[in-house]
Structure 1
Amino acid sequence: MCDNHQKPITATDTPAFFAIDNYGFPEAGEHPADPPNYYPPYFTSERFKKLGYHVEELRGGFYWVTSGGYDAAFVVTEDGVIAIDAPPTLGENMLAAIEDVTDKPVTHVIYSHWHSDHIGAASVFGPGVQIVAHAITKELLERFPDPNRPVPTLTFDTDYTLTVGGVTLELSYKGENHCPGNIFIYAPAQKVLTVIDIISPGSATFMHCDASQNITGWYQAQEQLLKFDFDFLVAGHHMRYGTPETVKASIEYFADVLDGAQAAVDRFSRSDALIGILDGAGWDKVFVGTENWINSMANYATRYVLEKRTSNGQLWSERLAGVTTQTKYHAYTVLESIRLERPRPNYRLRGENPPPFLT
């Protein structure tokens, strides 16, 4: 692991080529333990070990349900229950959690997005419920039918207000982020926001920016979270619900990932660095050289993040769980986002700067 007192690297003070430096890919025993506050008390309780789920009221009849890896939610109203998502890892335990607090039936189900790891058990609610989702989610589920993910019965394009039994939920779509159709679900009276797969409170999030499709939109969604007046965030994953502070920590972490990735792209896209990497692989092994080039950038960005002192003076591995295993995947995904989704600084002029293998 890194020297904790080493100053963060920059684009101007590191070697041009360290593809063979496997920084950020340590053996399992070399990883530090997760921050102790990452694991809440329920995780080691006998009840959780026996039942496999935890349910907790956040405020005003709005409940958070977790399997310790996947999260969902439900709201108890005067006329019935509104469920939000149904991860297969919860499955029928979602029904058990609801039955723990009310005998009212589930009348409505909201799909956050179409991915089966979050709604792949929606059939447990039966055929009589109204299913609310974005229009894109319905289109995708019609295109790729799944009996465990019934097709939505009510859709919207931009905004929709769902009021059931005196409870209001405000649904909005701000464009593609984690995937097309991924929506914001806000309970203004309870100040609970549900947005899935944008951050994972207390952790570095699952690899490749939580397997997101539009990384620029995904970054934008992080900032959009803070535009809501919320006290609790249901985020879809891991050990705990979120707060504004955990959102801010995640935003800071991924800002560092972006900074490191941008510095890596800038550094290793220079002709001298690129030629050095290709020469090292051999000109008859173009794809080996390409892999070395990408690995060089990913390792550079990973080292930048893992060695950087954060805003409170700690390393990221001391603040968020999973940093030493997930950062390298985020670094690759973000640097590819820079190359593919963000503006290019220039382009080749006619007759100038030919590719090095043509010189």
Structure 2
Amino acid sequence: MTPDPNRPLPTETFLHNRTLHVGNQTLELAYLGEAHMAGNIFIYARVQKVLVLIDVVFPGWLPFASLGEAKNIPAYYQAHDQILQYDFDHYIGGHVGRAGNRTDVLIQQEYILDLMHNCEQTLNESATNNSMIGAAALLGPVSTKNPGNKWAAFKVYLDVLGQYCANITNEKWLGRLGAADVFEYENAGAVFESLRIDYGILGPFGIS
């Protein structure tokens, strides 16, 4: 790791929980899993009812590309339930210019579930022969123009499915979350990869 004087290594670490007392202030720290990435911690000020968890919920906005560049998408989904287990009035998620509240967390959780549902339906629809996004309809023409290049055909397949799912999802979320038109495609792509890798939903490419 390249030394960075602006981000020195910690002098204290903890495995699951740590309570900090500074003057008359108390912060409860908890590591509940990867969420956005390994090491992301919940920081809770119980008296003030303030919860901090960076790069998971983006109050009022769509998550940044690929669900905030989440490294573990199942854990990212779970983090929303973990957040809602806290008693808080104010949520600090980082970026996008404002703090949030419990309603913001619930709205993003609804969005995440919609996106996952739409992507799963899209993936399953691509396994049907008469669909415009069916694997046969998409892979054949690309394979003809790119003989022997299977990645070219599969990339077109994933790109078309990603845009299709993004369009469906945006029918509900454009105008409800900021910048839904900016990162929906990238978020759909991240969900497709998670569905295939983490959940074994393979559409037309299942093992038979």
Normalized against structure 2, the TM-score is what?
0.90
- Verify: 1:329 aligned to 2:186, yes or no: yes
Match of residue 47 from structure 2: 189
Question: Is residue 16 of structure 2 the alignment partner of residue 158 of structure 1?
Answer: yes
Percent of residue pairs bearing the same amino acid type? 34
Moved more, 225-234 or 279-288: 279-288
Structure 1 residues 347 and 326, CA, compared in 2 at 3 Å: closer, same or farther?
Answer: closer
Query: Which residue, out of 275, 283, 302, partners 2:136?
Result: 275
The structure that is helix-richer by fraction is 2
Query: Matched residues in 2 for 1:290 and 1:347: separation?
Result: 14
Contiguous gaps of at least 5 residues in structure 2: none
Residue in structure 1 matched with residue 152 of structure 2 by the alignment: 288
CA distance in 2, matches of 1:168, 1:271: 60
- Specify the code of the residue in structure 2 equivalent to 1:185: I
Which position in structure 1 is the counterpart of 2:112? Answer: 254
Task: Identify the residue that residue 135 of structure 1 maps to in structure 2.
Answer: none
SS at match of 2:174: helix
What CA distance in whole angstroms lies between the structure 2 residues aligned with 1:340 and 1:270? 21
Give the deviation of 1:348 after TM superposition.
2.8
Deviation at 1:297, TM superposition (A): 1.2
Deviations 1:131-166 (A, max 9, x none): xxxxxxxxxxxx443222111011101111111112
Q: How does 1:1-359 map to 2 (within 5 A)?
A: 143-270=1-128, 273-283=134-144, 284=147, 285-308=149-172, 316-344=173-201, 348-349=207-208
Deviation per CA, 1:113-142, whole angstroms, max 9, x where unpaired? xxxxxxxxxxxxxxxxxxxxxxxxxxxxxx
Deviations 1:220-274 (A, max 9, x none): 1112111100000110111210100111111111111111111122122457721
Q: Distance in 1 between matches of 2:23 and 2:128?
A: 61
The higher radius of gyration belongs to: 1
Quote how far apart the aligned CAs of 1:347 are. 5.3
Number of aligned residues: 200
Shift of 1:291: 1.4
Q: Is there any run of 5+ residues in structure 1 with no aligned partner, and where?
A: 1-142, 309-315, 350-359
**More strand, by proportion:** 1
Cα deviation 1:75-126 (Å, max 9, x = unaligned): xxxxxxxxxxxxxxxxxxxxxxxxxxxxxxxxxxxxxxxxxxxxxxxxxxxx
Instruction: Say whether the 8 Å CA contact 2:57–2:93 is kept in structure 1.
Output: yes
Alpha carbons 1:260, 1:300 under 8 Å: kept: no
Encode CA deviations 1:282-318: one digit per residue, 9 max, x unaligned: 241422211111012101211111113xxxxxxx222
- Secondary structure class of the residue paired with 1:300: helix
Conserved in 1, the CA contact under 8 Å of 2:120 and 2:201? no
AA in 1 matched with 2:207: R
